[in-house]
Amino acid sequence: MNIIHNIIIDGMSFALPLFIMAIGGIYSERSGITNLALEGLQGMGAFVGGLTAYCLTLYFGADSRIPYAAAMLCAMLGGAAYAALHGLLCIRFRANQVISGVVINILGMALTSFLTKTINRNVFGEASDKFILGVSACYTIPGLSKIPVLGAFFTNVYPFEPLILVIALIAWYFLYRTSFGLRLRACGDNPHAVDAAGGSVAATRFIAVMVSGALSGLAGICFAYSISGKFSSDIYVGYGYLAIAAYIFGNWNLLPSLAACLIFGFARSGGYQLVQQLGMPSSYSDLVMTLPYILTLFLLIFLSKNNQAPRALGEIYDKAKR
């Protein structure tokens, strides 16, 4: 029973940040902007949030909750600001959206690594390539945590997990129950209709891209506070692509994407539990890291045949072609 509990607890702490990043990708791509930049957006957001938390911890102390809350907010702002570059390239300058996303990823990794080392050396007087944040405190919900099996979902919960669920619910409401969400989805399927109705395709797409950056930045700082207890440029490598795979398997819809993220999360945590139970060398833990990606390949074979992307995804909008 403890094994199952551990798989659920660790799996949820990985799956939910992955899910909120996938929602960001859904917003961007449902508006028509291909977004392969999630990796770089979460890294830049995590850098801004990590630096904020590190500075505030020195001022308020390690026991204060202010650095944690400020890190979440600043990570979202940092991710959104960096996403504006992707939006500017794709919408204003009409750059190739795939190439722009790849460049954003490469630049984000190089820039956060350089800035972390430079700030540590010149500001804090340390020769380090990371900001030590510590692992976030967890809490257990009395009563509900005693339920067999399902109680694991209410045990050792990170504070960011319910926050992500609330934001996901808000994101669902805006996407499917508001005029803005209708306009956003129309931009990804028939942008000329949005333009004819008096809406701004460029503005809607730009907002969607910035939302993807904000949610990716939130995911990045959540990973920093849970998986590693620190920010460094290597803690988020590959997670952005898993989020992309999740919403593709989910056919650009939120609930199926959540299911894909949960599968990835439980595969990862289940692999770690297997290594521990079999008493295998610690080096095998690195091999376990590949399980979500191997699973991605199998899901790609069996589940992606009937997927249908937004019809205008990746297309540069041109009024003259209406």
pLDDT by residue (tens digit) across 215-267? Answer: 999 999 999 999 878 999 887 788 999 999 999 989 999 999 999 999 999 98
Does pLDDT of 9 surpass 90?
A: yes
**pTM, two decimal places:** 0.95
Burial 235-245 (b: 16+ CB within 10 A, else e): bbeebbbbbbb
Each residue's pLDDT tens digit, 99-116: 999 999 999 999 999 999
**Residue 21, pLDDT score:** 98
Confidence of residue 48 (pLDDT cuts 50, 70, 90): very high
* Range with the poorest average pLDDT among 19-28, 165-174, 256-265: 256-265
Identify whether the C-beta of residue 213 lies closer than 8 Å to the C-beta of residue 84: yes
Instruction: Quote the strand ranges of the chain, DSSP E.
Output: 130-132, 230-232
**Residue 234, pLDDT score:** 80
Identify whether the C-beta of residue 277 lies closer than 8 Å to the C-beta of residue 14: no
Provide the 3-class DSSP secondary structure of residue 298. helix
Output the average pLDDT for the chain.
92
**Residue 11, pLDDT score:** 94
* Range with the poorest average pLDDT among 16-20, 26-30, 253-257, 302-306: 302-306
CB burial of residue 297 (10 Å; 0-12, 13-18, 19+):
exposed
Does pLDDT of 149 surpass 60?
A: yes
- Between 303 and 164, whose confidence is greater? 164
**Residue 322, pLDDT score:** 59
